Structures are given as structure tokens and as C-alpha cells.
Chains A and B, each alone.
Chain A
């Protein structure tokens, strides 16, 4: 079932930069879609257009039912309020929606528990490590019970070990809740590991040049160690190289 249809989407910034040109992309309910492309190709712009933070120059975004679903967002930076503790940061979407204090705290504690930060409810961002801050940001995206999760290279600034663990946590959460996810990344490995489908973008002005479905069936418990994983990383890598060369 389709959730979003993007057709002929172009976006030119006020300064004259054409970031996206004629981008077509569909989003199915319940899928984990990675958007993969070189730096500056317009991935963040695409995400901001989906979020409604920018209006497209031409083209259209058509949501199923006419209105966008509830979504949670995670930016490239944790983007936390430095003066507020973990609970207040996580509960922000509920606070802005006018929820009462008790309801907010209960939901925030649950989300904090989900990302494994119990015990740090009263810490402020400065007292947390980079990976922990990112998890606060993820908890905040989950707290409003989103149907669609939009993530912009959320783990790009983290070390490999933390990143692999957060990849696992994110995948488990998305699967458990049946979420639809759009995950922007420039890592081939991360996109293959996480997604059900990958959209490969061209250099700027960007559009989707290839869509690849990831096959996980029969890979066993450790997908990263499987032969299928390595093979598909190779396929995606090749497609990316073709797109870059074209």
C-alpha cells in the first residue's frame, strides 16, 4: 500500500542552486527505504521537502489520504535543547502538542527505556556521550508514536562500534513497531544492512537513478556475516559507481 508518491520533484534554492531535478519516488507503508547518494546531491533537501520544511519549486508530493502521517524526525546532529534534561528533551513533541506533565513523563520514560537510556533521565545533553545524545534524539522521534520515521544520516558523526549498535537498535525498533522509515545515508553498507529497499541518487541536481530491493531471506541471525549481504553490498556499490560516472 502506497503511503507517498513523489512525482517530477524539483527544488531550486533562493540562491539559484538547483538541488533536485525531476525526482520520482514512491514510499510503501511499512518499508525501510534508504536514500543513498554522494554528498551534496540533495538528500537532505529531499527529506526537508518530505517534512514540509521546504516547498517544492515544481512537482508534487502526494500523501495517501491527502495528509501526511504523524512523523518523527532525527537530524544529522542530535539537535537537543542544552538546557533541558533527557526527559524534557524527549517529551518535547508531547509538550508542544499540549499533553499534561504526567502523561508526558510516562511516555518519555518509555521511549528512554526503548533506547536504553534508563537512569539518565535527569542528565543534560552535555553530560552524555555523542552516541547517547543521538539515542535521546531517536527516543524523541519515537515518543509521539509516529507512523513514519525520517532520518537524515543520524549516525554519520559516530564511531563505527556505536554506529553498528545503533543500526541494530533502530532496525529492531522499526520492525517491532511496523514503522515506515526513510533513512538518508551515504554508506552503502549501512543502507544494505538496514533497508528493505534502496534509492540511489545521482550527483546534484539529484534524482533517483536506481531502486534496489534488499533480500534478507535465508541470511540467518547475523545478516552482516552472510554471503548475501556481501553480494548485495557489491551490487549497490556498482550501481552507485555507474550513477556517479554517468
Chain B
């Protein structure tokens, strides 16, 4: 029990030590806050600018979750289609790989030209960044079926779609959820990058990335750090949320969630 407590506390201890060192460094050397703000100053900024920062946080989170949902649905549908038809897989899968390996900052300017709605631009960008791990994990899951169960389904005269719904999809669920966990962080990264790229256009996003650029132009370094802290905290929260969902869904049957 004490071992687990120490395990939980260890990252916190590291964080506290780093923050204390940082605070001491800034105070002793009298570094001005427009070069490096002390943690206390960042915390104060988080509080004083809370209205503006929270509004931006909501914008970024909205993009992130919309992109995550879009990725999950498209990946699932594509993975099922790929499984059911080898021709569909052969025709489309290479493009999924190409989208995955091409840097989003190179694609985004193009999307900006063809898509008008700023939210749609960010949604498309973040989805492109996030979907691949779900797709490839789900495809792997749909293939990773107990061969004995496959034989059994065949013996009982199961049809193609019965095998899909009753055998392949449940077998793929842990893989899908694993992909979702990776995609959560990627969707956030995609949303932030999309904001950066589209910030040059008027009437663009007003998310956290945009706040960072804006604050940078005004040399408001504490607010840059405050926005950055919010992005990092969101990433951790999204990961924790998706992990909890996965644990809840798989708690009864899957080995990965076994409590020993």
C-alpha cells in the first residue's frame, strides 16, 4: 500500500522540486517576467486572465473532442469496410497512410484555401492528425480473433456480418480503445497546430494556441506560459478520461484491466 502511495506521489514530488527550483532561480537572479516568469506569476496570471483563458480553452477542447469523435467514427467505419472488402482496403488504405505521414502543417494551408468555416478547418486538421492510430489499431483488432472461436462460428453457419458483429467487433474493442487513448492526445495537438496555422487568417480561431501567439506579439510572456500550462493540463486530463473509459468498458473481461 505504501509502495503505491509513493508511486502516486513520485511525479508530484518531481513537479514540486522543479517548480521550487524555477521560482528560486527567477527570484535570486531577478529575471524579468517578460523573459522568464516565475511559477507564482504564471499562477497569478492564470487567475487574473481566467475569463479570457477559459473561453479559449473551451474553443480548443471543442475542436479536440469533435475531432476525436469524428476520428473514432470514421476509423471504425473504415476498419469495418476494409475488413469486409479487400478491394476497398487496397484502394483506400494507402491514402490513409499518406495522410498520416504527411505533416499537418504542410496540408493545413491547402485546407484553408478550400474550407471556409474556421471551425471546419480546425476539425479537418485535428481529425487528420488523430484518426490513424484508431484505424490501424482497430484493423489489427478485427484480425486478432481467437481461431477456435472463428472455427466455431463457421461450424454454426454464421454469416459474414454475424461474424463481424458478434465476434470481430467485440474482439477489436480493446484495440479500438487503445487507439482512442493515443488519438486523444493527437487530437489536442492537431487542434493546437490547426489554430497556429489558421491564426494568420482574419476571423480565425480564438483557442489557446491563438492566445499564445497574441500574447507573444504583446510580449505578455506570463500569459503565454499560462496558456501552455492549460494545454498540458488538458492533455493529461483527456488521457486520464479515456483511460478511465477504457477501464470501465473492459473491467469485467479483458486481461489488460485485471486487478490482481
Interface residues of A (CB under 8 A from B): 48, 51-53, 71, 73, 75, 77, 79, 81-84, 92-93, 95-97, 124-126, 144
Of the candidates B152, B158, B253, the one whose C-beta lies within 8 Å of that of A124 is B253
Contacts of A84 in B (CB 8 A): 170
Interface of A, secondary structure class, is: loop
Given A75-B148, A93-B156, A125-B253, 13 other A-B residues pairs in contact with their CB atoms under 8 A: A51-B151, A53-B155, A73-B152, A79-B146, A79-B148, A81-B166, A81-B167, A83-B252, A83-B253, A92-B152, A92-B166, A126-B253, A144-B156
List which B4-19 residues lie within 8 A (CB) of chain A.
Answer: none
Residue of A nearest to B158 (CB): A96
Of the candidates A53, A79, A92, A125, the one whose C-beta lies within 8 Å of that of B154 is A53
With A79-B148, A81-B149, A126-B253 already in contact, the answer to whether A73 and B167 are too (CB < 8 A) is no
Residue of B nearest to A95 (CB): B166
**Is the CB–CB distance between B151 and A126 below 8 Å?**
no
Give the bracket for the number of chain B residues in contact with chain A: 20 to 34
Contacts of A83 in B (CB 8 A): 170, 173, 252-254
With A77-B148, A95-B166, A96-B162 already in contact, the answer to whether A82 and B254 are too (CB < 8 A) is yes
Q: How far is the CB of B79 from chain A (nearest CB, A)?
A: 18
**Which of B151, B154, B156, B252 is packed against the most chain A CB atoms within 10 Å?**
B156
Residue of B nearest to A150 (CB): B155
**Is the CB–CB distance between A96 and B157 below 8 Å?**
yes
Number of A-B contacts (CB under 8 A): 50
A55 to B148, CA, bound (A): 17
Contacts of B82 in A (CB 8 A): none
Of the candidates A53, A82, A96, A97, the one whose C-beta lies within 8 Å of that of B151 is A53
> B20-42 vs A: 1/0 string, CB under 8 Å?
00000000000000000000000
List which B200-253 residues lie within 8 A (CB) of chain A.
Answer: 252-253
- 9 A-B pairs within 8 Å (CB atoms) are namely A51-B151, A52-B155, A75-B151, A83-B252, A84-B170, A96-B156, A96-B162, A96-B166, A125-B253
Contacts of B119 in A (CB 8 A): none
User: Does residue B93 face the partner (Cβ distance < 8 Å to A)?
Assistant: no
**Is the CB–CB distance between B155 and A73 below 8 Å?**
yes
User: Does residue B65 face the partner (Cβ distance < 8 Å to A)?
Assistant: no
A82 to B253, CA, bound (A): 6
> B102-123 vs A: 1/0 string, CB under 8 Å?
0000000000000000000000
